[in-house]
Chain A
Amino acid sequence: MKSLLWALTGFTLLILVFIIVDISVKGLPQVTPLFLFQDPQDMGRAGGIFSTIVATAYITALALLIASPLGVGTAIYLTEYTREGAATRIIRFGAECLAGVPSIILGLFGFVLFVMKLGFGWSILSGGLTLAIMVLPIIIRTSEEAIKAVPQEYRLACYSLGLSQWQAITRIVLPAALPGITTGVMLSVGRSLGETAVLLFTAGAALRTPLSIFDSGRTMAVHFYILAREGLSMPNAYGTAAVLVISILLINLTAYTLMQRFMRRYS
Chain B
Amino acid sequence: MNQVTQFKLRIEHLSFFYGDFQALKDISLEVRGHEIFGLMGPAKSGKSTLLRVLNRMSDLIPGARVEGKAWLDGLDILAPDCDLVALRRRVGLVLSKPVPLPRSILENLTLAPRLAGKRDAGELAALAEAALKAAQLWDEVKDRLRDSALKLSGGQQQRLCLARTLAMEPEVILLDEPTSGLDPISTAKIEETLFQLKKNYTIILVSNNTKQIARATDRVAFLLMSRLVEVGDTHQVFTVPQDKRTDDYISGRFG
Contact = CB atoms under 8 A, between A and B. Distances in A.
B101 A162 contact: no
Given A154-B101, A176-B102, A160 B57 contact: yes
A158 interface: yes
Interface in A149-175: 151, 153-154, 156-164, 167, 171-172, 175
B55 A160 contact: yes
Contact of B89 (A162, A172, A176): A162
Contacts of B165: 160-161
A172 B150 CA distance: 14
A172 B112 CA distance: 12
Contacts of A172: 101-103
A156 B57 contact: yes
B170 to A, nearest CB: 8
Interface in A116-167: 151, 153-154, 156-164, 167
Interface in B57-89: 57, 60, 62, 84-86, 88-89
Interface stretch (B1-9, B18-26, B90-98, B182-190): B90-98
Contacts of B97: 153
Contacts of B101: 154, 157-158, 172
B99 A167 contact: no
B150 A153 contact: no
Nearest to A151: B99
Interface residues of A, number: 21
Contacts of A153: 95, 97, 99
A175 B101 CA distance: 11
A6 interface: no
Contact of B88 (A154, A161, A176, A267): A161
A266 interface: yes
B60 A167 contact: no
B102 A161 contact: no
Contacts of B161: 157
B13 to A, nearest CB: 26
B168 A159 contact: no
Interface string A158-196: 111111100100011001100000000000000000000
Contacts of B116: 162
Contacts of A267: 102, 148, 150
Contacts of A175: 102
* Residue of A157, A158, A161 with highest tally of chain B CB at under 10 A: A161
Nearest to A150: B102
B115 A266 contact: no
Interface of A: 83, 151, 153-154, 156-164, 167, 171-172, 175-176, 265-267
Interface of B: 55, 57, 60, 62, 84-86, 88-89, 92-95, 97, 99-103, 111-112, 115-116, 148, 150, 161, 164-165, 168
7 contacts: A153-B95, A158-B101, A160-B165, A162-B86, A162-B92, A162-B115, A163-B111
